[in-house]
């Protein structure tokens, strides 16, 4: 079973601040971590490998320093790591990111692709499903339990607003996972030592056979106009009660304010 886990290196958002004058993120001195959801995706990949055998490869698209995230994943037990890094990838929006990652998956070949449900910095939750579309394979989002893995199919529980769905899919499939799925393991000392020396493969656009027009800023249909910290509004009200009572109270409140 070939398992690919997509991990993103993100700033530890507990410490991220926005410069109010330039409206840009203050990244200086902010530590980087593996996107927390992706550590759950990696744990799922490792558990599938332990159940049915196979190989776990972690991939990331990012600047050269994203290698640190890959080494951390190797120390947790991943077998192989691939860094997609090149100036041509800079400025990628979710569309260009998904295209680039999908090209790498095509190159490596995979039965199961695992992603986090979302990245804690970009927060769009688009990359997993978009990759599946590029690869023309099914995807199942918000996985909270993997019930069964067979050579050609998988059965999972997908988290819903109230309860969960049981979904079965053929392979290859792309899954995005939530934190309820598992408890990520800690790296072992042996794993850390091996990860330090491990070779991290690197690929650029030519290695992927990627169309340069689809990469980076050039290939990104989304344009960021502005980033700003939302204004803190002092006038707020918490609505208590069951969801139904809260809706009733919200409607009363909107009527009182003559909004409806």
Q: Is 139 in the site for ligand FAD (CB under 6 A)?
A: no
CB nearer ligand FAD, residue 123 or residue 211: 123
Work out which of 7, 56, 143, 178 binds ligand FAD, going by CB under 6 A.
7
Instruction: Measure the CA angle with vertex 18, ends 124 and 226; round to 5°.
Output: 60
Least CB distance to ligand FAD at residue 122 (A): 2
Least CB distance to ligand FAD at residue 211 (A): 18
Residue 7 DSSP class = -
Burial per residue of 204-228, b for 16 or more beta-carbon CB atoms within 10 angstroms, e otherwise: ebeebebeeebbbeebbeeeeeeee
CB nearer ligand FAD, residue 116 or residue 187: 116
CA distance 95 to 135: 13
Residue matched to tokens 């994203």: 66
Q: Of 3-11, 197-205, 226-234, 242-250, which segment contacts ligand FAD by CB under 6 A?
A: 3-11
Q: Fill in the per-residue mask, 44 to 83: x = in contact with ligand FAD (CB under 6 A), - = not in contact.
A: ----------------xxx---------------------
Q: Which helix (H) or strand (E) holds 176?
A: strand 173-177
Least CB distance to ligand FAD at residue 96 (A): 7
Q: Is 125 in the site for ligand FAD (CB under 6 A)?
A: yes
Distances (CA, A) of 152 to 43, 105, 155, 169, 171: 21, 18, 11, 9, 5
Closest alpha carbon to 45 in 176, 134, 142? 176
Q: First vs last Cα of the chain: how many Å apart?
A: 56
Residue 180 DSSP class = G
Least CB distance to ligand FAD at residue 250 (A): 29
Q: How many residues bind ligand FAD (CB under 6 A)?
A: 33
CB nearer ligand FAD, residue 113 or residue 195: 113
Q: Which two tokens stand for residue 51?
A: 């159940």
Q: Of 126-134, 160-168, 201-209, 246-254, which segment contacts ligand FAD by CB under 6 A?
A: 126-134
Residues 87-116 close enough to bind ligand FAD by CB under 6 A: 90-94, 97, 101, 115-116
Q: Which residues bind ligand FAD (CB under 6 A)?
A: 6-8, 35, 37-38, 41, 60-62, 90-94, 97, 101, 115-116, 118-119, 121-128, 220, 222-224
């Amino acid at each position: 079973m070939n398992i690919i886990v997509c991990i993103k290196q993100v700033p530890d958002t507990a410490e991220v601040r926005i410069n109010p004058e330039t409206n840009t993120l203050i990244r200086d001195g902010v530590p980087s971590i593996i996107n927390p959801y992706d550590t759950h995706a990696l744990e799922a990949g490792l558990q599938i490998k332990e159940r049915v055998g196979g190989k776990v490869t972690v991939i990331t698209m990012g600047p050269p320093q994203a290698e640190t995230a890959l080494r951390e994943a190797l120390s947790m037990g991943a077998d192989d790591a691939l860094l997609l890094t090149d100036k041509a990838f800079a400025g990628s929006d979710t569309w260009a990111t998904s295209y680039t990652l999908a090209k790498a998956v095509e190159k490596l070949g995979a039965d199961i692709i695992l992603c986090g449900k979302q990245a804690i910095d970009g927060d769009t939750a688009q990359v997993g499903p978009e990759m599946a579309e590029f690869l023309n394979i099914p995807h199942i989002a918000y996985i909270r339990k993997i019930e069964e893995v067979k050579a050609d199919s998988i059965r999972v529980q997908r988290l819903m607003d109230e309860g969960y769905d049981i979904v079965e899919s053929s392979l290859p499939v792309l899954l995005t996972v939530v934190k309820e799925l598992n408890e990520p393991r800690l790296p072992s000392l042996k794993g850390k030592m091996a990860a330090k020396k491990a070779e991290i493969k690197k690929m650029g656009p030519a290695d992927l056979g990627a169309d340069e027009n689809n990469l980076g800023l050039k290939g990104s249909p989304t344009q960021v106009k502005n980033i700003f910290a939302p204004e803190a509004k002092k006038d707020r009200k918490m609505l208590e009660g069951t969801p139904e009572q809260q809706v009733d109270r919200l409607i009363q409140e909107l009527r009182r304010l003559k909004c409806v």
